[in-house]
Structure 1
Amino acid sequence: MEILLWLAPAALVTLAAMAWVGWQGRGHRELDRETVARRIGEALARQEGRRHGYAAPRRTPDPATGVKVRRHETQPDDSSRQQAS
């Protein structure tokens, strides 16, 4: 238990900050549902034109897994095989 005593000051500061922020947040006025719905609708209408997508292009998945086999452009003649042997 003594090993964890160094955490006590940090825990107390964290709890005090949480209580302070919670107390400060209580002073805000409440809005009616119609006003909130209208504001959300306006914000969503403004955002529709701004959707540009991701900053980076999408990666194409690798089509194959395992060993890659290269395709030859031209097939060698049978005559070249016979000359080599």
Structure 2
Amino acid sequence: MARVVVDVMPKSEILDPQGQAVVGALPRMGFSGVREVRQGKRFELDVEDSVDDATLEQIASTLLANTVIEDWSVTRLPESDQA
């Protein structure tokens, strides 16, 4: 078994209202210095070792991300991080 992480983020040119809301709230809560926040999604998949990178990329691009407005990345975690 392998643990795979798929991170999905809005493309840089896409407005991120949730991120903007966080940036607006931080100063009201006494936090300063944060200029931008982008909110995305993280998927963790436990897959058989036989699942190749091309299949994982197809899963990410067809099911987990809307490629029109989102970028994504697939990362296989080292075994030491899978505890």
TM range (shorter): under 0.3
Give the structure with the higher percent strand: 2
TM-score by length of 2: 0.24
TM-score by length of 1: 0.23
Specify which structure has the bigger relative contact order, considering alpha-carbon pairs within 8 angstroms and separated by 6 or more residues.
2
Give the structure with the higher percent helix: 1
